[in-house]
Structure 1
């Protein structure tokens, strides 16, 4: 396979979540072209299933698409040194006030490789229940209006395939969980394997 040598790397913008960069990349044949993309801190998402086979979904407003979307509890990998499964547990507690007794790695996904290096690690959380302290996490900004909904996993699959759910991580997580369930959970990997 051809190697695409990066001749230069220029950062154009940086914030706490991502930076926008331009790489000068040598193409096959020797031509050097500029390629702009987003460098992202990474994310985790959680498919939380209860004992009745329902998945925890949240409704959240997303400014980039100007819509409220169906999503998984999810968030950034933004705590230095935090294990990925611990980040997933933190996000589940923060966005859904839930904890889980069992964690498995469901999938690892590059969300938009045409314009970003963002990778989300999707975990399956089972033995799910409310946070033991009963205190709800104080949410702000777009998260202040988060709505938690318990949806039967088969219904969630229908929602994903009909276009009602369009968030990529949510679609992949739901379909992955349905497939994992159909295989008797044999396709799951240990949570610690997330990279």
Structure 2
């Protein structure tokens, strides 16, 4: 059985040369196994949640949003930052699904947990599977900046899988979420997924 394990190598010096609105950059001098010291720069990130929202017609709710660092509009699943340290990720995911898509869900499971780019960023993402979808009553949440230009669609799972494998869809959470859904369906089934409040060592939280 393969399993990732916690480990922390000794840091002899650390600095934060940049602090932004949501993230920062940290520089650590890390002692290597051979006794040498290597400098590592990485982005410090609060963590994120994402929601693969699956409707009763086997379609996934996706949105298209401009992502400036890669100069592309990407099809994605609803996602957002853990804005408050120790925030319950399920509550954050429910909020993002409402704010971005004006949708709520009755059944929530943990689909998978990932580190997006562990070589250069400590971002951890919990991807949820949400089922039993319905529209939220009342006014839509007011969006701004890139979110004001979002497009929405409900796309069959098989079509998303095809797009991922064809190199047409690139968003990390969408790719991981859709392929994880296919894997669990081919294996032990959706009921084998972890409960929505499952422990998450990468971003500990209170229930």
Q: Report the TM-score when normalising by structure 1.
A: 0.94
Name stretches of at least 5 consecutive residues in structure 2 with no aligned partner: 201-207
Q: 1:77 aligns with which of 78, 82, 86?
A: 82
Provide the residue aligned with 2:152 in structure 1. Answer: 148
Sort the Cα spacing of 1:144 and 1:194 in 2 relative to 1 into closer, same or farther, 3 A. Answer: farther
Provide the residue aligned with 2:189 in structure 1. Answer: 184
Q: 2:143 aligns with which of 133, 139, 142?
A: 139
Q: 1:58 aligns with which of 57, 60, 63?
A: 63
Cα deviation digits, residues 153-190 of structure 1 (max 9, x gap): 11111111111110111100011122223342144100
Q: Is 1:97 matched up with 2:102?
A: yes
Provide the residue aligned with 1:19 in structure 2. Answer: 24
Higher mean alpha-carbon deviation, 107-116 vs 181-190, is at 181-190
Offset, 1:140:
0.3
Q: Report the TM-score when normalising by structure 2.
A: 0.89
Offset, 1:3:
6.1
* Distance (whole Å) between structure 1 residues aligned to residue 21 and residue 87 of structure 2: 17
Provide the residue aligned with 1:120 in structure 2. Answer: 125
Provide the residue aligned with 2:205 in structure 1. Answer: none
Cα deviation digits, residues 25-81 of structure 1 (max 9, x gap): 011221111110011010000000000000001100000001100111000000355
Structure 1 contact 21–38 (Cα < 8 Å) conserved: yes
Structure 1 contact 102–127 (Cα < 8 Å) conserved: yes
Structure 1 contact 180–186 (Cα < 8 Å) conserved: no
Q: 1:172 aligns with which of 170, 176, 193?
A: 176
Q: Is 1:31 matched up with 2:36?
A: yes
* Distance (whole Å) between structure 2 residues aligned to residue 54 and residue 122 of structure 1: 17
Aligned residues: 194
Cα deviation digits, residues 74-127 of structure 1 (max 9, x gap): 000003553100100100011111100010000000000110000110000000
Structure 1 contact 84–194 (Cα < 8 Å) conserved: no
